[in-house]
Structure 1
Amino acid sequence: GFTGGVGIADQWQGNAQDPQHWRDIHFRIQGPVVAQIQAAFNDNWIKTTGEVLNGPAYFPPLRPAGDMDAHLFIASPAGGSDSMHLMYLMAIAAAERTIDLAASYFVPDPLITKALLSARQRDVRVRILVPGPYIDSDTVRIASRRAWGELLLADV
């Protein structure tokens, strides 16, 4: 299964080296978690076409891959943000060694900030990859950096 950004336009031909070129990440996912991607696709397909896709012609059997558990959660502008927020909180609370978070629009609310600070108090290494000098939202850049103080002081 595949998920992430799929930028198909001239802006995506670069690597965010300037304001005219953007960058996104796309992921290939293998193993049983792909069934959750298939379910999300099927949900959108049904809503768009009224047709239910079913059977091995559309959804071949999935074999285990790798040695890591995985879970997918679905969020879109139309919904799912509560599920996404809860999943972030649960994942942060469950972390024992490391948290590596890449978020183009990282603007943590007080609950996320508190969870990340609690993780640091448990000696969890927390690294957050945020945008470089070019981002398509000045509002996000300003709001994000405003929230970094406590996190930076805690060695995030």
Structure 2
Amino acid sequence: MPKLTPADNPEIKLDSAAAAVEATLTREQRRGLFEKPGTVVYAIVELTSKSYTGHAEGEDKPPQVKVRVTGCEVARTDEDAKSLIEARRAMYRGRQIDGTFDEVGQGPMRPDGALADVMATHPSEDELREYKRRREQERQDEYVR
């Protein structure tokens, strides 16, 4: 991998694979995006770098990295969308305070702090496991009957 100077700021190219996004959209959201241009949906996405293009000495082409959406959850309710909007605003405020708009680097490292209060009303991993366990138990009980 080529080394970047502190002044280099790689361009980000989004890979065309959108399966992670498509899988989380409801039928109504898909139809809305198609039928009403300008429709907005809010999502939490996970980006993974998949390939890069280095730059040769003396070439006037900036370095590029291609990223792919490898995880995604789309807000399904207005309440969830408002929560994501507020989290985005909080993270933006953090970037303003930290002065990371033009910096090369990681930027704010604790976006989960902005989401902690918002996510308190959503199911935890333990609650999901318990739900799945109860559902499986109900299926077994029905099978025995």
Q: Which has the larger radius of gyration?
A: 2
With normalisation by structure 2, the TM-score equals 0.28
Higher RCO (CA-CA < 8 Å; seq separation 6+): 2
Q: Which has the higher strand share?
A: 2
Q: Which has the higher helix share?
A: 2
With normalisation by structure 1, the TM-score equals 0.26
